[in-house]
């Protein structure tokens, strides 16, 4: 398992640079998980998905829309929050599924919405008046296409109410 985590981490770091430098570019042959790992800026997200047992789900048929927090977004959480989440699978799953909307919702569609119901069950607020905000997070890269959906990169972790 440690070897797999190291491989995921190395792959995520390598591909993070590719995502950051090409906002709408993606390899639509890769699923959401592999696309995120390849981007390199989602090491923490990959670790959290593994801890919650959600990797296979997000590698599934979909389509899914994922509001993906970067490593820097996770670093903004109060000290100890991530460690506590990683120890509580139910709460971690709740937080992660709050970042996922069923279906493929591209940026052109997101900006027309006021909210979107998440896989977790609650809705995220969407504000497109000045950029695009999902709850308290700003979308920094939109429409990263994957074979089973789309990723919108966000700068903060969003938390269910």
Which pLDDT value is given to residue 28?
63
Helices first, then strands: H and E counts in the chain = 8, 7
Which pLDDT value is given to residue 73?
97
Which pLDDT value is given to residue 15?
33
Give pLDDT tens digits along the chain (161 positions). 333 333 333 333 323 333 333 344 444 689 999 999 999 999 999 999 999 999 999 999 999 999 999 999 999 999 999 999 999 999 999 999 999 999 999 999 999 999 999 999 999 999 999 999 999 999 999 999 999 999 999 999 999 99
Q: Which residue(s) pair with 146 in the sheet? A: 149
Is 92 contained in some domain?
A: yes
Which pLDDT value is given to residue 79?
94
What count of Cα atoms within 13 Å lies in the side-chain half-sphere of residue 17? 4
Which pLDDT value is given to residue 7?
31
Is 16 contained in some domain?
A: yes
Residue 69 sits in a domain of what CATH number? 2.30.180.10
CA distances from 105 to 76, 102, 150 (A): 26, 8, 7
Q: Estimate to the nearest angstrom the gap between the alpha carbon of 129 and the chain centroid.
A: 22
Pairing of strands 133-134, 64-69: unpaired
Which pLDDT value is given to residue 24?
44
Is 160 contained in some domain?
A: no
Which pLDDT value is given to residue 29?
86
Is 26 contained in some domain?
A: yes
Whole-prediction pTM: 0.82
- At residue 110, the 3 state secondary structure works out as helix
Which pLDDT value is given to residue 147?
96
Q: Which domain holds residue 51?
A: 2-154
Tally the domains of the chain.
1
CA distances from 9 to 25, 48, 50, 141, 142 (A): 21, 12, 12, 21, 23
Is 159 contained in some domain?
A: no
Is 66 contained in some domain?
A: yes
Is 161 contained in some domain?
A: no
């Amino acid at each position: 398992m440690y070897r797999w985590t190291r491989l995921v981490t190395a792959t995520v770091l390598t591909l993070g640079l590719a995502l950051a430098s090409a906002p709408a570019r993606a390899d639509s042959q890769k699923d959401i998980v592999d696309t995120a790992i390849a981007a390199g800026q989602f090491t923490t997200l990959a670790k959290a998905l593994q801890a919650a047992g959600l990797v296979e789900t997000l590698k599934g048929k979909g389509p899914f829309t994922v509001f993906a927090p970067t490593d820097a977004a996770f670093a903004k959480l109060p000290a100890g929050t991530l460690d506590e989440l990683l120890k509580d699978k139910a709460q971690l799953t709740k937080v992660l599924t709050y970042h996922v909307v069923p279906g493929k919702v591209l940026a052109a569609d997101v900006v027309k919405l006021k909210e979107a119901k998440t896989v977790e069950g609650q809705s995220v607020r969407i504000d497109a008046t000045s950029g695009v905000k999902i709850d308290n997070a700003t979308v920094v890269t939109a429409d990263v296409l994957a074979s089973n959906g789309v990723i919108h990169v966000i700068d903060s972790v969003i938390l269910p109410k």
